[in-house]
Structure formats: C-alpha cells, structure tokens
Chains A and B, each alone.
Chain A
Amino acid sequence: MIRRAATVGRVGVPAMRAYAPVVLAGAVVALLPLRYGDSRPMMGVVIGGVLFACYAVGFNVIFGSTGQLFLCTGALAGIGGYASAILSDRHGLPMVLAMLLASLMAAAVGGLLSWIAVSRSLGVIFTGIVTLTFALAFQNLLLGQRDLTGGETGLVVDAGSDTLLGEQVAPFYVFVVLLTGYLALFRALQRSHIGWAFRALRDDEIAAELAGVDVKRYRVLAGTLGSGMIGLAGALYAHSEGFISPSTFSFGEVDVLVIVMLAFGGIGSLLGPVVGAATFTVLEEWMDSFDEYRLIIYGSVILVLFLVLPRGVVPTVQRLVDVARRRAVRRAPAPTAEPPVDTLTHG
C-alpha cells in the first residue's frame, strides 16, 4: 500500500487552512520571473517546469487518488495539443473554444481507457500496459498522419501567437493560474465526498465497495477528470510554445518524467507534483552542463533520491512533522487544546 500524505484536506479542517498550501505554492511559483524574467530561454525552462507540474497534478488525480497507472500522460496532452492546434488553425475555431474542445476530447479518451480498465478489472500493471500501448499507437498515428500533424517535422501553431501567449513572461502567468487552479481543484476534491470515496477505494477496494462506494464510477470519474486536466495543459502549451511535434508528447519525454516527479514529490499528496516538478526541472537544467555524462548522472541521482526517500518528499516531511507534534503534545502538561490526531497517518 502506498502511504498517502496525511489527510489535511479532510472536511473537518477549516477552508483557510486547507487551501493555504495552494495559495502559498502559487505565490512562490509566481515570483520566479523576478529572477528569470529577462531571459527568454530561462523563461522557457520555467514554463516547462510549471507545465510538468500541471501534468503531474492531473496524473496524481488518476494514479495518486484511484491507483490507475495511466502510462499515456504524454498522449493525452498530445490529444489536447494537436486537437486544439488543428481545430483553431485549420478550422478557424476561436482558440479558447478549441482548447476546451480539445480538453474534452482528452477527457473522453481518458474516461474510455479508464472505463475499459475498470470494467475488465485490470490490475495496476495491466492498466499500465494497455495505456502504454495506446500511447505508443498514438505516437505512431502522429507520425503517420502527415497531412494533419506534419509528421516528424512537427506542426507550427499560429493561433495564440498574437495574444498574450506570444509574449515572454505573460504565458508563464497563465500557466501559474492553471497550476493554482489545478491544485485548488485537487484540494477541493480531497475535501468533498469524492475525496472520501477516493481514499476509501485506495485503502481497500473491497471494503469500500462493501461500504457502498461505487468504486467503478469513481475510478472512471478520476480517469476522465485527470485526463481533461492533462489535455488542457497540453493544449495551452501548444499555443504558448507555437510549435509541437510528436516528441513533445512522447512517452520518453513526458510520462517517464511525470512518474518520476510525482513519485519523488509524493504520490497522492497535494504538493508532491509541485515539489517533484521543481526538483527535476532544476536537476535537468543543472545536468545540461555535463553533456555526455548527462544520462549517467541523471540515472544515479534517481537511484539516490529514491533510495533515500522511497516514499516521496511531501509524505516524509509530513510524517516528521507529525512525529514532532506528537512528541510536543506528550511533553505538554495539560492537553486542553484540540487533540493532535487531525493528521492521521497509517503506520
């Protein structure tokens, strides 16, 4: 069982405290242009980091909340990106409408995959492989449908270049708004009855079913919602970057990184995706100077990080805080204040 972060997002916690981390994370990320705003390449790197944080939140909704291993994050983002680009550039749809339609398409595909996995009760690995085959097939489709997608050479996306998405710093803020929105949505889910259902089915599927949770429905819901989020992020990226190619959305470029980021940050935790995306964006940037040893160092860092923190940063920190708090309470003479058990951790 993967231990999730303590359930700070429970219904009982006041909204102010529950959403504080969301606001804080958004604010910290929003400060980044102060340092990197003058450099176009650095802004590109920072935007890439926020984009991957968005992907990771979407993936967290699917995998972290309901245990469905979707190995097609890149493909779902690609559906968003390519569909939005084609709808707006070829068919003249307004960009925002195209992006929305594209995200709906990604949501529908993700929901379908989830429905297949759920109704055939595929295990984690099997869901992973089915979605992986979908991702690889999608990649081939992009390469093959040259007339529509430009094949290997990629596709220049015009729509959006004359809006604020064409500027240097402005698109970054659009992404920050998107990320903050995603985090708020994630927290809202955690606090709603849906979050209860997610936790129940994640802890023990059969027990949840017996307690009256419609496990299938909630899994498909998570698959649909998370895929829509990933699709929207991909669509936004297509318009702000102005160019997409199959490798922008390939398994190797997106999924591997998203999984590593989320696992390192903490699966199922609110801020895990942000911590993971930040860590690995910095790491990739730092490693570029190593050139030919790049992959070796990258692999070694992954090994060390996961050997030291196999549970992820956020859950580990949370546990340490919990332990410290419990100790402090034990030492305190009169426990008149509220009991310290509002953060239940398992084992």
Chain B
Amino acid sequence: MRAVVFDGVVLGLQFGLLGVGLTLVYGLGGVLNLAQGQLAVLGAIVAAVRLDAGSAVVPAVITGIVVAATVGLVLDLTLMQPVYRRRGEDRVLLGLLLMLGVAFIIDGVLTWRYPIEALTLRIGGEPVDILGVRMRTGSLLASAIALGVGAILVLFLRYATTGKAVRSVIQDEEGAQLCGVSPATVRAFVFALSGGLAALVAVTRSMTSPVTVNAGIDFTILALIVAVVGGLGSVSGAFLAGILLGVVNTVSAHYIGTYITTIVLLGAAAATIVLRPSGLLGAGRE
C-alpha cells in the first residue's frame, strides 16, 4: 500500500508541475493554453534529437527546455497580442482557439519531421529504500526535481519581486498596472516559464516511461484537469490536485485494474469540481 501511495505522489508531483504552467498562464492572461502538452513534447523531442546527435544528457535536456520556453515566449509576444486586446469571454475563446491551432501546428511539425522519435532517460543506480519502500532511482530523481522546482516556484511567487508582480497581476490587472507593474512583461515571462515547466515535466516523465511524439494531447488534457481541480490561478492548488489525482490514479490502478482507473480518476476530478466549484484552493469564481 505504502509503495503504491508513494508512486502516486511521484506521479502527482509531475501532474502538479504540469498544471502549474497552465494555471499561471490562465490566471494572468485568461488564455487557456491548449498547446501546453505540445510544448512539453516539443521540449522532449528536441532533447531526444540532441541525445541522438551525441550530446550529453544535461545539455540536451536544457536545450529542450530552453526551446520550449522560447516558443512560449514567442507565442506570447506575437500570436497572443490580439487576444490580450480583448476582454472577458471573447478573450478566453479566441485564446483557446488560437492555441488549438498552435497545438495542431506543433503536432504536425513533430510528426512530420520525427515520426518515431521518443525521449527515454535511463537513470542508473540501485533502488533506494525510503520508509521501507524500494523506490527506483528514476522515480526518485523525477520527484526530487518536481518537488524542488515546485518549492522554488512557490517561494519565488511569495517572496521575489517578480513573483509578487505575477501574483498582483493575477489578482487585479488594473490595480497592478497602477502600482507600476507591467502586465505585458509579466505575461511574457510567465508564458515562457510555463513552456519551460511543461518541457521539464516531459523530461521527468521520460525517466520512468518514454515520451512519444503524439503524447501532446494527453499532457494537455491532464494539465487542464489538474489546473481546474486545483483552482485556476492557484499554484499550491495545482500541486495539491496533482498529488490527489496521482494517488487516486495509482491506487485504483493497483487495486481495481487499469481500465476502470481512468474512469475513477476522471470521476474524482469531476467530483472535486462539483463539490468545490472554484477548485481546491481557488480564490473565487473565475
């Protein structure tokens, strides 16, 4: 049982990190980034291609993350500009549709250029005992990274000036502007951050199972569910939701069977939203 829960937490931390990127972009600019999963896969495939070319693991992974972050930044500075000029529902809808187009394009480019590419990182080393549970080094490293990055993110948002600026824009765009915070700069920064985080999650996922070219849509849907269950705009909510869903996922996979698991997972997500309509840690109604 303990082992299963641990596995769930490992998975959940990565779910959480995936949701965080989505939740921040939505909270800031009202853009539901439907290409989040594609950005993740883009980063993973870039890393895989670098590895094939003989690059060492760490530089390859960093290249992948930087590429995904750059694409995020460029998207924000170009395609999202007409979106930010709109207000309310118009903005959400246009942002969502444009990002859907971007998702198609990234998917298309990747399947065209690298149809059979996949990223698999084999982390060597003996399994380690933690509280009596033998954990694979790959899972441990993946959770350590997710946990570390998550903690840095939370601390950054709480204490760093830029982090505070991010939160201020989430709370009240006009108010932040009056205090001298530029929403445009903050948005661009967070879009890039979100792309980088997505790629990072794809990299940590690849430590336990391969990340293939067409995994984008699954990543996106997972990110969406985690972000909404956690409460859009809430970073710690996304992590909480990620861990909750990760544990539900592995526990039901272990005890009930894989086919029902997806349904249980989805049911848990839906139930959480219905019970807490603004998400686990959501501040209020959208």
Contacts and interface: CB of A to CB of B under 8 A. Distances in A.
Partners in one complex: yes
B277 A120 contact: yes
A93 B112 CA distance: 47
Contact of B100 (A125, A144, A260, A292): A260
A99 B103 CA distance: 36
Given A296-B108, A302-B100, A310-B82, A126 B89 contact: no
B98 A306 contact: yes
Given A132-B224, A306-B98, A310-B94, A124 B266 contact: no
B62 interface: no
Interface stretch (A135-143, A180-188, A336-344): A135-143
Contact of B98 (A259, A267, A307): A307
B102 interface: yes
B262 A125 contact: no
Contacts of A259: 97
A103 to B, nearest CB: 24
Nearest to B279: A126
Contacts of A321: none
Given A1-B89, A2-B89, A120-B274, A137 B103 contact: no
Interface string B80-105: 00100010111011100110111111
A92 interface: no
A299 B105 contact: yes
Contact of A133 (B97, B108, B111, B270): B270
Contact of B260 (A116, A123, A144): A144
Interface in B26-84: 26, 32, 79, 82
A307 B89 CA distance: 16
A317 B222 CA distance: 38
B10 interface: no
A303 B75 CA distance: 12
B269 A2 contact: no
Interface in A276-304: 292-303
Contact of A123 (B221, B229, B270, B285): B285
Given A1-B88, A292-B112, A294-B108, A302 B273 contact: no
B104 A141 contact: no
B100 A130 contact: no
Contacts of A301: 101
A137 B266 contact: yes
Q: Max chain B CB contacts within 10 Å: which of A141, A256, A300, A303?
A: A303
A252 B98 contact: no
Contact of B273 (A126, A136, A144): A126
Given A124-B92, A303-B79, A307-B82, A133 B267 contact: yes
B89 A129 contact: no
B11 interface: no
B101 A300 contact: yes
Q: Is the interface of B mostly helix, strand, loop or mixed?
A: helix
A299 B97 contact: no
B101 A303 contact: yes
Q: Is the interface of A mostly helix, strand, loop or mixed?
A: helix
A121 B108 contact: no
Contacts of A299: 101-108
B281 to A, nearest CB: 14
A102 B104 CA distance: 33
Interface string A104-141: 00000000000010001111111001101110110011
B273 A122 contact: yes
Size bin of chain A's contact surface:
35 or more
Nearest to B274: A120
B208 to A, nearest CB: 22
A296 B112 CA distance: 9
B19 to A, nearest CB: 12
Contacts of A122: 273-274, 277
Interface string B127-160: 0000000000000000000000000000000000
Nearest to B97: A306
A123 B224 CA distance: 15
B228 interface: yes
A67 to B, nearest CB: 8
Contact of B109 (A1, A296, A302): A296
Contact of A137 (B89, B94, B262): B262
Interface in A36-63: none
A303 B232 contact: no
Interface string B255-269: 000011011001101
B77 to A, nearest CB: 15
Contacts of B88: 1
B89 A124 contact: yes
Given A293-B108, A295-B107, A303-B79, A129 B224 contact: yes
A295 B107 CA distance: 7
B225 interface: yes
B107 A260 contact: no
A121 B285 contact: yes
Given A130-B274, A303-B98, A125 B108 contact: no
A176 interface: no
B217 interface: yes
A130 B270 contact: yes
Given A133-B267, A310-B82, A125 B98 contact: no
9 contacts: A121-B277, A125-B26, A134-B270, A137-B263, A137-B266, A144-B259, A263-B93, A292-B112, A299-B108
Given A260-B97, A300-B101, 20 more contacts: A2-B89, A2-B93, A120-B274, A120-B277, A123-B286, A124-B89, A125-B32, A125-B286, A129-B225, A129-B273, A130-B270, A137-B263, A292-B112, A298-B108, A299-B104, A299-B106, A299-B108, A302-B100, A302-B104, A306-B101
